Amino acid sequence: MDGIADMGGTDGWGRAHPPDPNEPVFAEHWQGRVFALVLLSMDVAHYNVHAFRHEIERLGRSAYLGEGYFGRWLNAVESMLTETAILAPGAIDARVTNMQGGRVEEPPIPEPRRPDFAPTAEGSLRSVDNPPAFSVGDRVRARNISTSGHTRLPRYFRGHTGVIEVVQPAAVLPDTMAQFENENPQYTYSVRFDSRELWGPDTEPFTVTGDLYESYLEKSA
């Protein structure tokens, strides 16, 4: 999905700063609680990690950027629980109002509509019968595709050429898992791209490596 979450390589965000090696796992206590809430809610809603990522990228600009990393997780949890009718729309707002001393009737609890989909095994790795379509050293092009659903193919790779560095084991495809359609397992590849190929000849020279699924790639001359 080409939403606010796919901002890699876009302009206007200022200088990138190196991470703080002493940064705590959770800067504030509530962030740890949100992390636990996400894990619990995904289990209750029968969501997988790919579907939850898609929920995050469907957030509006203010919900995604305005409340920080764990703030967007919290917003996505509310969206996920409302989407599956585990919470009624407006239930959280009503409860917050009542906790602050207001008097608002909470909406009735709806009948949940969890997705009827279960993976065939734990984890993401799977076995496939066919051999990999690409080998180490092959020049490949990331397909120039766009979708309204979830994808792990960043915009800044699309249409650009790189070189296969590593052939990874087969894994379930996030694009279909996020929609609760099927696992569609396929090989993944670590692909090395030159920065000038991605952002033009005036870019500082460095390499970017992305792990891309087989269906994201095509052979390049």
- Please, which pLDDT band fits residue 1 given cuts at 50, 70 and 90? low
- Tell me: do 103 and 162 sit in the same domain: no
Inside any domain, residue 172: yes
- Tell me: do 26 and 107 sit in the same domain: yes
- Tell me: do 107 and 148 sit in the same domain: no
CATH number of the structural domain spanning residue 195: 2.30.30.50
Find out whether 172 and 124 touch, Cβ atoms under 8 Å: yes
- Tell me: do 39 and 102 sit in the same domain: yes
- Tell me: do 28 and 103 sit in the same domain: yes
- Tell me: do 75 and 170 sit in the same domain: no
Region 16-31: what's the mean pLDDT? 91
Host domain of residue 33 = 1-112
The answer to whether residue 19 scores a pLDDT higher than 90 is no
Residue whose C-alpha is closest to residue 76's, from 101, 51, 93: 51
- Please, which pLDDT band fits residue 55 given cuts at 50, 70 and 90? very high
Q: Exposed, middle or buried, 37 (CB in 10 Å: 0-12/13-18/19+)?
A: middle
- Tell me: do 206 and 159 sit in the same domain: yes
Encode pLDDT of 93-133 as tens digits: 998 899 999 888 889 999 999 999 999 999 999 999 999 99
What pLDDT was estimated at residue 78?
94
> Count of domains in the chain?
2
The separation between CA 147 and the C-alpha centre of its own chain, rounded to angstroms, equals 14
Q: Tokens standing for 77?
A: 């949890």
Q: Tokens standing for 4?
A: 């606010």
Inside any domain, residue 25: yes
Q: CA-CA distance, 78 to 62, in Å (whole number)? A: 15
Please name the residues in contact with 144: beta carbons below 8 A apart, sequence gap of 6 or more.
158, 159
